[in-house]
Amino acid sequence: MGQSASSRLTDSPPAVVGGISAVTDYTADLPDDCLALVFQSLGSGDRKRCSLVCRRWLAVEGWSRLRLSLDARAALLDVFPAIFARFDAVSRLTLRCSRRTDSIGDEGLALVAAHCPNLASLKLRACGALTDAGMAAVARYCSGLRKLSVDSCAFGAKGVDAVLRGCPLLEELSIKRLRGLHDPSATADLIAGAASLRSVCLKDLYNAQCFAPLIAGCPNLKTLKLIRCSGDWDPLLKNMAARVPGVVEIHLERLQVTDSGLAALSVCVDLEVLRLVKTPECTDAGIAAVADRCALLRKVHIDGWRANRIGDEGLQALARRCADLQELVLIGVNPTSRTLELMASNCRSLEHLALCGSDTFGDSEVACIASKCAALKKLCIKGCPISDQGIEALAAGCPKLVKVKVKRCPGVTQECADRLAGSRNGKLAVKVEADEGSAAVQQAEGTVVFGEFGIAEDTGGGERPRLASVDRAGGAGTLSSKSRRTARKKRTGFFATRRNLVASALRRWSNGSSYSRHSHR
């Protein structure tokens, strides 16, 4: 009693592991680097169990671990030296804390930075005790940092500025719910550009426009995401388009942006991904302006918020000029048969199509897609007036279709879905989710997940927007407890339990075969 786990370990694996007799330790002849590759193919839980097999495995698992996630409560400061004495090669670190508990402070973050000089990625979540001084320590010790992501922290713009100035290789910057941006005087001297930055994401920020000079001064910027940030963003888009023409992906959600801003973005002729979510001042004219010059568009996601300001004119412009379109998601938009026919005829590479809450998407529109979209692989339909007749039309078309998802379409029965799946000899997965409750309840929940498209968007719970009184701050609505539970279940569904590979490897070694799986992170 009283011994630590490491002191009870043996130098080599035990003679019996999981009921498997191992008279000879075949791992003894396996180089440490190869053993590390085996560990890197395992999940976090399996790696922990491997570290308890013997002293050698403990040591190899420690120096080969590149990713580490820690509960960043204040008490963690006492065990930092022991943790980083074992995991001395960490390059990707996540520090998470709860808003209800005290997080580590500047001293703890400085200690972490000093022990991780090779840190390439740092994520900070709800570390409310950190200040600008702590971020300055990161900049001082981790000059090779390439990715910084902060969420629900309390330091301000000066802390971000310190990292930008001290980490010349920084490529990705994500700032969400940063609470220290309330002082305008503290943002006056921020760096006005970073040549290395390639991706910037700003979300739920009150004074996010203090970063506008930074965004406009990043000549190599490729991805820009602005989500629920207050202020008028048209001036930034105009300035950025003139100075940063190489942008490839734009995501604008719940922003004060108009057709003028979209027209400015049309200068970015390399644009491939455009996401417009709940921007009610954007109309067909803005979409058409982008389509006119951005012929390389591959993915377009539009949530019109049922405002009826984006419709046939803008979508037909996309269909005529963006022949390489591969993915189209329309939420709260009402395209007509003419638009869908033009889209299907001109966009021969269209593989993914999703429509949600469209009052004009019925059986004839499904039949049009079935007859003309030969490349379509995935189709999602939610809350549209379709019936079994439309679903049956898919049986004779879309030869490459592999997945169909239908939700909240009362006219579609499970029997029809089964017949469609059976017509493709098991090569087509068809999922029909029944109508859940009244329309009022559905709008109150306001949650839809198009997992096939990597989308998890609120699709307009509550009232349609009144254009004369748009919420400039872009505050997010509060979901009900039932909605949160539903979303949580959907998220956990994506994480499958990973198979324990240790016993399998031992069986192979005991049979005399060599394990040569090389998977790199």
CB proximity list for 476: less than 8 A, separation 6 or greater:
204, 228, 254, 458
- Quick check: 365 and 358 in contact, CB under 8 A? no
What does pLDDT average to over the chain? 82
Start-end of CATH 3.80.10.10 domains in the chain: 67-221
Task: Confirm if 367 and 390 have CB atoms less than 8 A apart.
Answer: yes
pLDDT at 379: 96
Name the CATH architecture for the domain at 67-221.
Alpha-Beta Horseshoe (3.80)
CA distance 368 to 350: 14
Crossing angle between the packed helical segments 157-166 and 132-141, to the nearest 10 degrees: 10
CA distances, 272 to each of 78, 171, 246, 456 (Å): 48, 19, 11, 20
Least confident of 73-77, 157-161, 492-496: 492-496
- For 209-236, what is the mean pLDDT? 93
Q: What pLDDT is recorded for position 258?
A: 96
Helix, strand, or coil (residue 80): helix
What is the DSSP code string of 356-396? Answer: ES-TT--HHHHHHHHHH-TT--EEEEES---BHHHHHHGGG
The neighbour count for residue 280, using CB atoms within 10 Å, is 22
pTM reported for the whole predicted model: 0.79
Over residues 460-479, the pLDDT tens digits come to 333 444 333 333 333 333 33
Backbone angles phi and psi of 135, in degrees to 5: -70, -30
What confidence tier does 23 reach under pLDDT thresholds 50, 70, 90?
low
pLDDT higher for 241 or 489? Answer: 241
pLDDT in tens, 439-451: 444 443 333 444 4
On whether the CB atoms of residues 439 and 464 are closer than 8 A, the answer is no
306 — pLDDT class (breaks 50, 70, 90): confident
Q: For residue 394, how many other CB atoms are within 10 A of its CB?
A: 23
pLDDT band with cut points at 50, 70 and 90 for residue 302: very high
